[in-house]
Structure 1
C-alpha cells in the first residue's frame, strides 16, 4: 500500500542504523532456541533531541507551522524524554516551548535540575512543575490556561498530548516502520517480531499500523512501562482511529495484532528494580548500548526474560526498537551502584 505522508519538518538523522546484537544473542537467546536479536538505533535520531519522540515531532512541528503557531505546549513527567525533545526542537525551529511537568513540588525547579529537566532549562523552555495530584486532576485545564496565556500575548500555541501520541504523531512511526522493514530487506531477512517499550502508546501504534500497511507479517510486541495491557490495547486503537479519521484513511486495521506485555513494569512508572539496572549494565558491557531505567531497560529486560522462557522460540529474527532515553540514566545514578564489575 502506498502512503501519502503529510508535511514534515526534517529534524532527525535518518535512516537510523539497524545493528545485530551478536554477543547478547549468543549468550541469552540462541542457547534457549530463541531468535537472533537486532536493534534499531532510534536513540541516534539526533545527539541531543535523540530518541523516538523526534520522529513524531517532525510531523507535529510541520502541523504547527501550517496552523500559524509559534509555541508548543506539551506535558509529561519531570524527566520526560518527549518534553526534552520538544524543548530542543522548538529552539531549533525558532518556536517557544512550554512544558507542563508532573512530580514537582509546584514551587519551581529543583535546586539542581538533572537529566532531561536540566536540558529543558538549557533549551530555554518555560517549565511549569505541578504536584502529581494537581497534574492528574487538572491537565486539560492546564493546557487551556496556558494556551489562553499565550493567546493574550499575541502568540498561538499548539497543544501536544503526552508523548506526542495521537493520530498526528503516529505518522512518525508509520514512516519508521517503512524504514525498518526496508533495513531488514537490505540485510536479507524479514523480521518475525518487533519489540518496543510502550509508555504513551504512540510508537507502538505507529509500528503496529505500519507493519500492516506495508504488508509485513511481523507483529509488534510492546512492553508496558506503566498502565495495563488493556489500557494500551485501547490506546493503540484510539490512535489508529484518530489517524484514520483525521486523514480519511479507510485502511482495515486488524486490532487482533495489538500485543502488549505488562509483566515487567515493576513497582511503577520510572521506578526500576535491581534486575533492570543489571540488564542496562549488561547491554552496555556486551554491546556498548546504553538503555534507560524508565523505558528501554524495562522492555529489553522483559524481552530477555521471555526469550529464556521460550516465548519467541518460533522466531528467527527479532528487532528491538531502541527509543532512546539515555538522559534518564543520570537522575537514577544511585541505582547502578551494584551494576558494574569492581576492578
Structure 2
C-alpha cells in the first residue's frame, strides 16, 4: 500500500470540470479538452492553490503563523498565498520583483494590497541572486517579533507543493471514467516547474503512460528539464519509494518565451483575443496564452500527429490580464 500523502488544508473548489473545446478542436482536427483549474476559487483562483494546500498544511502542522513567499509583481501564486493566509488567520509577507519601488496597484498586486499583505518590492537582480536569502532575513525579522514564519518557495514549486498535481491527476483519472475518454496527451504551462513536475510524477507513479508536454514561459528547456527532475526527487522523500525522472525524459516545447517572462508579443495577445471569441474562455498573457499558442504552433508542425485526445490544463491567471489591457487591439 502506498504511503499516505502529506496533510493538506482543503481550500480549492474541487474537482474542476473538464470541457471539450469544440471549435478549437474542429480547427485542429483533433479532440482538445480543457481542465478548468482557473475555477478553483476567486481570490485564490488557478493552479497555485492546489500546491498551497499542501505547503500551508505543512506550515500549520509546524505551528507557523506567518507565510513568506516570492514572485513577480503580477504573481498568481503570491496573490493566492495572501488570500489563503487571510482565510486561515495567518500573516503574509510577499517579496515581489519589480523595476520600480512603488508600482501602480493593478491586477494581482492590487489584490495583494486589498488583502493586506506585507509587500516588499525588490529589483530584478536582487530577486535573481538573493531572493532566498532575503526571505530568510524576513523570517528572522518575524521570528524576532514573536512569530513563527514558514517560507514557501516561488510558485510553491518544491517537493511538498507538487503533491497538489499528484492529486489533480487522480481527479483527472476519475473524470476520464465519467467522460468515457482517455487523455493520451496533457499540455501545461511551465513557469516555476511545480505543476508540471506533479503531473509528470503522477504519470510515472500510476503507470499512466500519458504524454506530458510543457511550454516554458521563461528560461529554457534545459533549465526546466533539470528543475522538474529535482522537484520530483524532492517529492520522493515523502513517498515510500523515491521516483526518478531523468531530465532527458521531460518534454518541454521550447521557443515560446517570446520577449521574456510576463512580456507579450502581438501574436500572443491576438491569440488570447481570438481564442476568447472562439471558446468563451479567457487565457492570460503570462502562462496559458503563451502555452496554448506554443502548443498550437507545434501541433501545426506535426509534433502531435499521434495524439487523439489532448487535455490542456488552464492554470488561471485572469487578474494578470488587466495590466496588459492597453496592449490589446480590437
Match of 1:24 in 2: 24
In structure 2, the residue matched to 1:36 is: 31
Q: Work out the CA distance in 2 between the residues paired with 1:92 and 1:50.
A: 14
CA distance in 2, matches of 1:253, 1:165: 16
4+ long deviations beyond 6 Å: none
- 1:257 is displaced (CA, Å) by 3.4
Q: Quick check: 2:66–2:93 contact (8 Å CA) kept in 1?
A: yes
Q: CA deviation at 1:140?
A: 2.2
Higher deviation after alignment, 239-248 or 43-52:
239-248
- Three-state SS of the structure 1 residue aligned to 2:310 is strand
Are 1:75 and 2:75 an aligned pair? no
Separation of aligned partners in 1, 2:166 and 2:74: 26
Per-residue CA deviation, residues 150-187 of structure 1 (Å, 9 max, x unaligned), is 00110011101110000010100111111112212221
For residue 138 of structure 2, the aligned residue among 140, 146, 149 is 146
Shift of 1:254: 5.9
For residues 48 and 140 of structure 1, what CA distance do their matches in structure 2 show?
Answer: 26
Instruction: Name the counterpart of 1:14.
Output: 14
User: Which residue pairs with 1:90 in the alignment?
Assistant: 85
Cα distance in 1 for partners of 2:232, 2:179 equals 29
Q: How does 1:111-190 map to 2 (within 5 A)?
A: 112-190=104-182
Superposed CA deviations along residues 206-237 of structure 1, whole A, max 9, x for unmatched, are: 00111121221112100000001010000011
User: Structure 2: how far apart are the matches of 1:70 and 1:304?
Assistant: 44
* Conserved? CA contact 2:201–2:243, under 8 Å: no
Residues 282-332 of structure 1: per-residue CA shift (max 9 Å, x gap): 121011111000000000101111122211111110000000001110001
CA distance in 1, matches of 2:305, 2:240: 39
CA distance in 2, matches of 1:189, 1:88: 35
1:48, CA displacement in angstroms?
1.8
Secondary structure of the 1:99 match is strand
1:237 aligns with 2:229: yes
Q: When the two structures are superposed, what TM-score results if normalisation uses the length of structure 1?
A: 0.93
Whole-angstrom distance in 2 between the partners of 1:171 and 1:236: 13
| 1:323 match | 315
- 2:287 is aligned to 295
Q: Is 1:59 aligned to 2:51, yes or no? A: no
Q: CA RMSD in A?
A: 1.4
Q: Distance in 2 between matches of 1:140 and 1:264?
A: 28
User: Is the contact made by 1:243 and 1:249 (CA closer than 8 Å) also made in structure 2?
Assistant: no
Contact 1:78 1:104 in 2 (8 A): no
Alignment correspondent of 1:225 = 217
2-structure distance, mates of 1:52, 1:297: 15
Partner of 1:310: 302
CA distance in 1, matches of 2:145, 2:99: 26
Q: Is the 8 A contact 1:51 1:325 kept in 2?
A: yes
Alpha carbons 1:115, 1:331 under 8 Å: kept: yes
Q: Distance in 1 between matches of 2:255 and 2:245?
A: 26
Deviation at 1:335, TM superposition (A): 1.3
Residues 1:40 and 1:177: Cα distance change in structure 2 (over 3 Å): same
Cα distance in 2 for partners of 1:212, 1:65 equals 30
Contact 1:277 1:293 in 2 (8 A): yes
Counterpart CA distance in 1 for 2:175 and 2:271 is: 26
| Count of residues in Structure 1 that have an aligned counterpart in Structure 2 | 330
Unaligned runs of 5+ residues in structure 2 are: none
